[in-house]
Structure 1
Amino acid sequence: MKHKIVEVKNVLRTQDMFANLQSRSDITPGIGLIHGASGFGKTTTVTYMVNQLTSMGNLPAFVRCCATDTPSSFLARVMKELGCEPIFPLRKSVDFIINTMNEQQISLFVDEADHIIGQSKTMETIRDIYDATELPVVLIGMEEIARRISHRKQLFNRISEWIEFMPADNEDVSMFATELLEIDVTVGEDLLDYIRQRSGGEVRRTLIALEKIERFALSNELDFVDKAVWGDGQLFLNHSRRQV
């Protein structure tokens, strides 16, 4: 399969969200929130957008939080993105981050933010950085992050743009098949719908299924595979998934 980003609905909505943050008025706060279930492509989409921004000279900073993060380790990761080692005391690191972001107009993307949402000092530091720069800050997390962050009113009230990543629909799955399969094979609509249902709309599981179909078509010299042709072949592990 081809290694590329397919601009399905979640990708386009993410691009629109960030464009809105960049073009907002002076009275509108600039923190964005991306949330949704695992496997729907949040990290891949944001990484793609960050790479696009970098290629255009916009210099975003992208950090991914870990379960073991502390305020110190989080700031160290941001400092590394900015090309510098941590400065102690930590207040000096915060000052450096603020000055560098202001000087270079750097937006900040914080992936896996669920890991730090319960850490008051870390979250307040993110708010301090935003308040001192007013440059876009985008938090990315799982389904529950929107509810959890609502308890931090000072940060929550600064969120002006948010999107929830939704399961891939039939049109999305069809686009994945059309744009990612390297061989000239058509996947029948009934098989695409089966993939959507059994994957629960998860991008990862959808791509795994499509790669299995591609290999099957290649080994059998087929240019068309529908559910009848696929037969009883296994596309997914046998465990229950929600139907969407």
Structure 2
Amino acid sequence: MKHKVVTVKNVNKSMNLLRNLQSRSSIIPGLGLIHGPSGFGKTTTVVWMFNQTRSVYVRCYATDTPSSFLGRVLQEMGEVPRPPLSNMVGQVIERMVMDHCSLFIDEADHIVNNTRIMETIRDIYDSAEEPIVLIGMEQIARRISHRKQMFNRISEWVEFQPADLDDMEMLVKELFEINLDIKEDMLSYICNESGGEMRQILVALEKIERFAMANKLDTVDRRSWGKEPLFLLQRR
């Protein structure tokens, strides 16, 4: 399969989120939130968006401190961190304002309970007023809601949804290396068995494409695929 990001519904909604944050009125807050279950394609989407726009992307870790978090942000900006922390915050703000860049913070679940890091992010946003987008799992919205000063600054959000048949058809059209017709009964089977999880869907499509190439098929349906499981622990 081709290595590319397909602009399925979740990707389009995420791009609209960033466009809205970047073009918002000065009276509208500029924090965004992208959330949803693991495997739905959040990180892949955000990394693709980061590469398409003037943005900085940083991933959080369970062991993060304000210093380690700011240090990684500055490294991604091409800056050498200059402690103490107040100077590092100033460096980030200065660079965001100068470059008019957005900041994507992935795996934000790791830091949502860290008051110092979350307040540092709020300080950066309040001073730079450039978009900051938090990315996390499905419960992060509820967890952030307890931090009213952060929660009230979120003006755009996207909750990633399971892929549907329209998404599946687009994936087949854009990703396959060969001209292969996947019948609707097979696409429905993949959707149902994967729960619409993008990571699992891509695994299944890779297997189907290899199966078709090995057997010189130009069409695959449920009957031609047979009972071979598409996913680990799947019932046959």
Alignment of 1:10-25 (within 5 A): 10-25=10-25
TM-score for both structures, normalised by structure 1: 0.94
Q: Deviations over 1:94-128 (max 9, x none)?
A: 01111111111121110000000010000000000
The AA in structure 2 aligned to 1:12 is: N
2:156 aligned to which of 138, 147, 161: 161
Partner of 2:222: 227
Give the secondary-structure state (helix, strand or coil) at the position aligned to 2:105: strand
Q: Which amino acid aligns with 1:102?
A: V
Report the Cα distance in structure 2 between the residues aligned to 1:51 and 1:186, rounded to whole angstroms.
Answer: 32
Q: Deviations over 1:207-231 (max 9, x none)?
A: 1001100011000000001000001
Could you tell me how far apart the structure 2 residues matched to 1:224 and 1:104 are? 50
- In the alignment, the residues of structure 1 paired with residue 35 and residue 52 of structure 2 have an alpha-carbon distance, to the nearest angstrom, of 21
C-alpha distance in 2 between matches for 1:158 and 1:119? 18
Question: Partner amino acid for 1:153?
Answer: K
**Counterpart mapping for 1:201-240 below 5 A:** 201-239=196-234
Equivalent residue for 2:187? 192
Equivalent residue, structure 1, for 2:57: 62
User: Hey, what's the Cα distance between the residues in 2 that align with 1:99 and 1:50?
Assistant: 19
C-alpha distance in 2, partners of 1:144/1:189? 33
Return 230-239 or 33-42, whichever deviates more.
230-239
Structure 1 counterpart SS, 2:133: strand
- 1:130 aligns with one of 120, 125, 133: 125
- Aligned counterparts of 1:93 and 1:238: Cα–Cα separation in 2: 48
Please name the residue that 1:44 is paired with. 44
1:239 is displaced (CA, Å) by 4.9
Partner of 1:8: 8
What SS does the corresponding residue of 1:124 show, helix, strand or coil? helix
Helix, strand or coil: the match of 1:216? helix
Percent identity, please: 60
Number of equivalences:
235
Letter aligned with residue 67 of structure 2: S
1:128 counterpart letter in structure 2:
D
Report 1:19-168 matches (<5 A): 19-53=19-53, 58=54, 60-168=55-163
Deviations 1:177-206 (A, max 9, x none): 121111111111100000000001011100
| 1:37-61 CA distance string (max 9 Å, x none) | 00000010111111111xxxx3x11
1:86, distance to aligned residue in structure 2 (A): 1.9
**SS of structure 2 residue aligned to 1:232:** coil
**Matched position secondary structure for 2:32:** strand
Runs of 4+ in 1 over 6 A off after TM superposition: none
Structure-2 separation of matches of 1:94 and 1:169: 42
Pairwise CA RMSD: 1.0
Higher alpha-carbon deviation: 159-168 or 64-73: 64-73
Whole-Å separation in 2 of the counterparts to 1:116 and 1:77: 14
User: Gaps (5+ residues) in structure 1?
Assistant: none
TM value normalised by structure 2:
0.98
SS at structure 2 position matched to 1:11: helix
Supply the distance in 2 between the matched residues of 1:189 and 1:213 (Cα, whole angstroms): 14
